[in-house]
Amino acid sequence: MEQIKDTSTEAQILQVAERLFMERGYALTSTVDIAKEVGCNQALVHYYYRSKEKLFQKVFDEKSKLFIQALLSPAPEGLTLEEILRQRIELHFNIIQQSPNLPFLVVNELLTNPNRINILKQNLYRISVDAFGALQAILDKEYAAGKIRKVDARQLIINVVSLNVFTFLSLPIASEIFNLHNNQTQQTYLKERKEEIIKTILNGIKA
Amino acid sequence: MEQIKDTSTEAQILQVAERLFMERGYALTSTVDIAKEVGCNQALVHYYYRSKEKLFQKVFDEKSKLFIQALLSPAPEGLTLEEILRQRIELHFNIIQQSPNLPFLVVNELLTNPNRINILKQNLYRISVDAFGALQAILDKEYAAGKIRKVDARQLIINVVSLNVFTFLSLPIASEIFNLHNNQTQQTYLKERKEEIIKTILNGIKA
DNA sequence: CACATATTTAATAGCATTATTAAATAATCT
DNA sequence: AGATTATTTAATAATGCTATTAAATATGTG
């Protein structure tokens, strides 16, 4: 169980691979490209990770875990539904913002290689059952108290993911249409978008 | 200006290319694959469409027009805001349902080749200005009448597109998690989803 | 140091892909 | 039919990719 330094070639390959896979997807990233950016021989990529496919799966697995945890990690106690949702939406939004290409990658790879679903499925399944159940209990209680309409936890979560993810999927297009070419205007846009998503979700479940 | 028959090799190539590009994206579709499915020589693909890139652009241009029109075609007169939205959401949802891989294609190609944005941009820009303006006018009037909260037309449209598109982007995953393996359960899921989206959007803009 | 192990490189096999060319065949027209 | 144009094919050049191998270099260990 050695501590692998960030500067080791092995780690560098993984880092570069991560970045390139995220930027261009699987098919358009070659092991030659990866080696070139790392500054090592192309055979090294295979020496450490055996095949391009295995290397990709490692990246994809880690990234999809991150993505899912952001969404379904256990909710903190003692908060109102509104507080929970507001906090959860914001957290999820922010984590996607830190890896804005991740939704592209997931979508891209689900298209080109449907087998990748299995990785996602495994990572998702463990967490999802509990998470859905916990949220549904809260929603049912609020509904019984007449505070919200009848809401299915699964639908609600899909709504949140939809709105958050699509913000970044559509960002390149939005940048063109709404002229978000400098960093400042783009940040403003994202902040507005986040607020709008929270409003829409919270309002959307009202009685 | 000849009428090209559907059965001509030229048209067949385009049709097969359309399907394969939609299913697998640009990188994973080869001109050899296309020719093989059509049942012709691979050189013919180039004879008619010069290069794989030109062929793809033709497909992408047509498809993205379809996608945008579904969303921003002129709104019918004499309806309440709620009726307009309900109708528009449903139309958009249904059109995506008819080409469920289209969102994949768009997202996929935006990732792997950012230049493709230019095609989208051109097709989008013409329609979008008018469409946003018209919707915003209606929203402002309803807000003035105290019927809804202050709503930005652009944000509202993005919300609709997000929820609709993501339903199909996430369908492969949803199928796994929610066990939608036969056609019947999947149809039911999509119908529920559509209703949920309408509820969320309509509720989401309430005062 | 001497030996073993880990890392790295150069070379290359094997395959798939895009695109071009020249030649063959089919269709059209006078 | 004979000439002209359109369609189609086979062959292949040029390129790039993954993966493997054997050899070279570096690193660690007794």
Give the C-alpha separation, A41 to A35, whole Å: 6
Amino acid at A134: A
Strands (E), chain A: none
Eight-class DSSP state of B151: -
Cβ–Cβ gap A177/B107 under 8 Å: no
Across B90-110, average pLDDT: 84
User: Greater confidence, A39 or B24?
Assistant: A39
Cβ–Cβ gap B121/A158 under 8 Å: no
User: Greater confidence, B172 or B41?
Assistant: B41
Give the C-alpha separation, B145 to B22, whole Å: 45
Nearest to A139 by CA among A96, A199, A201: A201
User: Greater confidence, A190 or A72?
Assistant: A190
User: Greater confidence, A194 or B7?
Assistant: A194
Question: Do A7 and A90 contact (CB within 8 A), yes or no?
Answer: no
Spacing of B25 CA from D15 C1' in Å:
22
The yes-or-no verdict on residue B94 having pLDDT over 50 is: yes
In which band, very low, low, confident or very high, does the pLDDT at A6 lie, cut at 50, 70 and 90?
low
Exposure string of A3-30, with b = 16+ CB inside 10 Å and e = fewer, is eeeeeebeebbbebbbebbbebbbbbbe
Give the C-alpha separation, B148 to A123, whole Å: 40
Cβ–Cβ gap A162/B163 under 8 Å: yes
Q: State the nucleotide closest to A40 in CA–C1' terms.
A: C8
User: With contacts defined as CB-CB under 8 Å, which chain A residues touch B28?
Assistant: 27, 112
Across A4-15, average pLDDT: 81
**pTM passes above 0.75:** yes
Q: Which helix (H) or strand (E) holds A167?
A: helix A153-169
| Smallest Cα distance from B41 to chain A, Å | 25
Calculate the average pLDDT of chain A: 89
The yes-or-no verdict on residue A3 having pLDDT over 70 is: no
Give the C-alpha separation, B79 to B112, whole Å: 42
pLDDT value for A1: 36
Give the C-alpha separation, A35 to A88, whole Å: 39
pLDDT value for B5: 41
